[in-house]
Amino acid sequence: MNRQGASAHGSHHGSEALTWVVFDSFIITVLVVMAVGYAVALRVSRGRGSWPVYRTTLWYLGVACLGVGLIGPIASAGHTSFTAHMFVHLLVGMVGPLLLVLAAPVTVALRALPLTSARWLSRTLRSLPVRIITHPLSAVLLNAGGLWLLYTTDLYHAMHSSVPVHALVHLHLFLAGYVLTASLVGVDPAPHRASMRMRSAALILFIAAHQILAKWLYAHPPDVVGRADGELGAQLMYYGGDVVDVSLIVLLFAGWYAATRPRVTRAARWPAEHPQDRFGSPRR
């Protein structure tokens, strides 16, 4: 757990190196809980039918993304290099949340929890505050707004000089990314899922805001960042963001495509009620 940034500062501020150790230990604990929790939940609920292997794979890939982004060499490089910082931003704020959302953790939890706890969880997820925060527009505001604050104010500087600020920024980055992804293309039960039109508008708004910020950063990187580093980092944000954004668009429409699937079973089951339905199967 020897962080370049931490050891460099360590000689001046012994307490800061200690705070980094606390931060790293905390992250490792959270990641282990996430990894073990999913496995335990699957094991507890194994009587409830099979669970697709790819969802489990997506969960562990997502946890790995957070791990690479928050601890280890790339995370350390992110303290001094804007490009590495942007790579961390992609992993923790976009790719990681997308993988974790697609692993359907809420469904896993609902399958595994005892009845009363499951009821409590679903009641909590239906509550007004959660509904407001998980609305696509508030999620866009939280996500894009947070990014604009981070890169257009002194916050970027602050997060690299204070461990608690660093931790809070990354927590926000991850949560905002998760909530936005879940509100747009989530596979977990969502009793108050916004309409396709609303989600489309929110996604276009988010892509525009994200890409405008990436281009703006190309010309105006944070003060402490060198020119070449700033340009490379902004390009990483732009093109890396594009890959995730197009995936989100495809997933959004794939969800619509599955939801509007022509269902012919009812017509096939009661042909007598609707004699005209005898031809009711869609031809390909």
Round to whole Å and give the CA distance between 44 and 253: 33
The answer to whether the beta carbons of residues 194 and 148 sit under 8 Å apart is no
Closest distance to other proteins from the beta carbon of 71 (Å): 33
Q: Give the nearer residue to other proteins in terms of CB position, either 59 or 206.
A: 206
Cα separation of the two ends of the chain? 57
Q: What's at 225, amino acid-wise?
A: V
13 sits near other proteins (criterion: CB under 8 A): no
Sign of CA dihedral 44, 50, 55, 57: positive
Q: Give the nearer residue to other proteins in terms of CB position, either 116 or 265.
A: 265
Round to whole Å and give the CA distance between 218 and 206: 18
249 sits near other proteins (criterion: CB under 8 A): yes
Q: Interacting stretch for other proteins, rule CB under 8 A, among 28-36, 45-53, 103-111, 242-250?
A: 242-250
Q: Interacting stretch for other proteins, rule CB under 8 A, among 6-14, 41-49, 159-167, 240-248?
A: 240-248
Structure tokens that stand for 224 in this block: 């402490």
242 sits near other proteins (criterion: CB under 8 A): yes
265 sits near other proteins (criterion: CB under 8 A): yes
175 sits near other proteins (criterion: CB under 8 A): no
Q: What angle do CA 87, 94, 141 make, to 5 degrees?
A: 120
Collapsing DSSP to helix, strand or coil, 103 comes out as coil
Residues that bind other proteins (CB under 8 A): 200, 203-205, 207-209, 211-212, 215-216, 219, 242, 245-246, 249-250, 253-254, 256-257, 260-269, 274, 276-284
